[in-house]
A and B are shown apart, each in its own frame.
Chain A
Amino acid sequence: MAAATMNPFFSQNINQNSLVPDWTSQEVSTGTTIMAVEYDGGVVIGADSRTTTGAYIANRVTDKLTPIHDRIFCCRSGSAADTQAIADVVTYQLGFHSIELDAPPLVETAANLFRASCYRYREELSAGILVAGWDQRRGGQVYCVPIGGMLVRQPVSVGGSGSSYIYGYMDSNYKPNMTKDQCLELVGAAVALAMERDGSSGGVIRLASISEAGVERRVILGNQLPKCSTH
């Protein structure tokens, strides 16, 4: 996902003969592969850990799984600054809303707040977000808020530049009513495959599972990545 072509505010002429490297003039992007899956009783989310400025990897151990509330997370892809700023705003709004209501917030509410910001400022932003979590009313839910500010609930969703390479894998390997462990395996394998093929995704795989009991986070390090068979 080339930040230069996507965002007219930040693009510079890349071919200009310059005394400084390209990446000093390029926006920081979470190139990314992100994924979220619903299961009965919760959700599993996963992401890679690479943040790039052009071809330079600014952070190889990024945490793209950001908590918004106790049982609600978001997976961020696109511009790192934009997604961090939106996540901060939504965290504030949702926290306030939850205190007013004196009840844990709904995942649908969080998703709507993301959608409101992403749609209103769609011309200035470059943010593709997956909102996933658990609430009392509807259990585990995944909502997709891609660039442009659409909102749709899906049982499984992938995002980021690396997602293009794993739609086929997801379509053929996702089955409804999987267990938590099956979901963790699916997300781990899918993100690993994307990291193999997408230059903007890499590093470690961060996973989290969210349910009524709480949030469990884990990391799959480079030497423990699921092995793919072709090479």
Chain B
Amino acid sequence: MSSIGTGYDLSASTFSPDGRVFQVEYAMKAVENSSTAIAIRCKDGVVFGVEKLILSKLYEQGSNKRIFNIDRHVGMAVAGLLADARSLSEVAREEASSFRSSYGHDIPLKHLSERVAMYVHAYTLYSAVRPFGCSFILGSYDKDDGPQLYMVDPSGISHGYWGCAIGKAKQAAKTEIEKLQMKDMTCREVVKEVAKIIYIVHDEVKDKAFELELSWVGEVTDGRHTLVPKDVREEAEKYAKDSLEEEDDSDEDNM
């Protein structure tokens, strides 16, 4: 699938003979090296889940967050180079804040994701800078537009989704997400499924310990994006672990 772009891949301002910008494609590969983040839009909100790999036992629990608050009603989950993602979260915050200052109301998510995508795209045009090495998922909920979910990748494109996944296990996660009927589910139901999917796609062999970061925004939080409360998270993780055990058991029975 991948080809070597020798000679045409040194800067983002060079096309290859077959019309590709390799630097942007390499940026997307950087995202694929990162652990998985998923988000699902359901009937009354959006739920984010991130598989946060713990690289050292010395890390304080809850540090190196991968889910950010962009505005009261908007959350952002990231995958890829974390430093790039943090800088983009600041850009998104400035956009949302300046929109509210100029126009007097909350920024619509489609507009926010287009503005940030435009910014990401700008960094794919010049040889003096490198493209951002992160993808991110934006989600919001308000009474008028309902739940919204958008994903932006390093090439600077943004699309709207009902469910999406980024990071190393995105294919496996997408397959699991497609099995759900999210349009008919509520946030409380979806948060358990999100936890389950993260547990399913987590690779026990290659990556040892991980922390599950869960957040949501919807009617259940009255339109504010917040981390999922402790009791809901524990219930979701229990559901996830129990489902995995069931699948393991059923495998044994088939023998």
Q: Which residues of A pack against B, CB within 8 Å?
A: 97, 100-103, 106, 108-109, 111-113, 116, 136-137
**Pairs across A and B, CB under 8 Å, 15 listed:** A101-B108, A101-B110, A102-B110, A103-B108, A106-B103, A106-B105, A108-B103, A108-B104, A109-B103, A109-B104, A109-B105, A111-B104, A112-B102, A136-B144, A137-B144
Contact A108 to B102, CB < 8 A, known contacts A100-B111, A101-B111 = no
| B residues near A137, Cβ cutoff 8 Å | 144
**How far is it, in angstroms, between the C-alpha of A113 and the C-alpha of B31 when the chains are bound?**
40
In chain B, what residue has the closest Cβ to A105? B103
Q: Is the CB of B105 within 8 A of A108?
A: yes
| B residues near A108, Cβ cutoff 8 Å | 103-105
**How far is it, in angstroms, between the C-alpha of A103 and the C-alpha of B144 when the chains are bound?**
13
With A102-B110, A108-B103, A109-B105 given, name 17 new contacts (CB 8 A): A97-B103, A101-B108, A101-B110, A101-B111, A103-B108, A106-B103, A106-B105, A108-B104, A109-B104, A111-B104, A112-B102, A112-B103, A112-B104, A113-B102, A113-B103, A116-B102, A137-B144
**How far is it, in angstroms, between the C-alpha of A137 and the C-alpha of B108 when the chains are bound?**
13
| B residues near A100, Cβ cutoff 8 Å | 111
Shortest beta-carbon distance from B142 to chain A in Å: 10
| A residues near B111, Cβ cutoff 8 Å | 100-101
How many B residues touch the partner, as a band? under 10
The SS class assigned to the A binding surface is: helix
**How far is it, in angstroms, between the C-alpha of A106 and the C-alpha of B105 when the chains are bound?**
9
| B residues near A136, Cβ cutoff 8 Å | 144
| B residues near A101, Cβ cutoff 8 Å | 108, 110-111
Shortest beta-carbon distance from A140 to chain B in Å: 16
| B residues near A112, Cβ cutoff 8 Å | 102-104
Shortest beta-carbon distance from A105 to chain B in Å: 9
| A residues near B104, Cβ cutoff 8 Å | 108-109, 111-112
Shortest beta-carbon distance from B223 to chain A in Å: 14
Interface residues of B in 44-85 (CB under 8 A from A): none
**How far is it, in angstroms, between the C-alpha of A113 and the C-alpha of B99 when the chains are bound?**
11
In chain B, what residue has the closest Cβ to A112? B104
**How far is it, in angstroms, between the C-alpha of A101 and the C-alpha of B102 when the chains are bound?**
14
Q: 8 tightest CB-CB pairs across the interface, nearest first?
A: A112-B104, A109-B103, A137-B144, A108-B104, A101-B111, A112-B103, A108-B105, A109-B104
Shortest beta-carbon distance from B9 to chain A in Å: 34
| B residues near A116, Cβ cutoff 8 Å | 102
**How far is it, in angstroms, between the C-alpha of A103 and the C-alpha of B109 when the chains are bound?**
13
Shortest beta-carbon distance from B16 to chain A in Å: 33
**How far is it, in angstroms, between the C-alpha of A101 and the C-alpha of B144 when the chains are bound?**
15
B102, B103, B105, B108 pick with most chain A CB within 10 angstroms? B103
Shortest beta-carbon distance from A225 to chain B in Å: 38
In chain A, what residue has the closest Cβ to B144? A137
| A residues near B105, Cβ cutoff 8 Å | 106, 108-109
Shortest beta-carbon distance from A126 to chain B in Å: 24
Shortest beta-carbon distance from A92 to chain B in Å: 14
**How far is it, in angstroms, between the C-alpha of A63 and the C-alpha of B241 when the chains are bound?**
71
| A residues near B103, Cβ cutoff 8 Å | 97, 106, 108-109, 112-113
In chain B, what residue has the closest Cβ to A101? B111
Shortest beta-carbon distance from A24 to chain B in Å: 40
In chain A, what residue has the closest Cβ to B115? A100
- Binary interface encoding of chain B residues 33-49 relative to chain A, with 1 for a CB under 8 A from any of its CBs, else 0: 00000000000000000
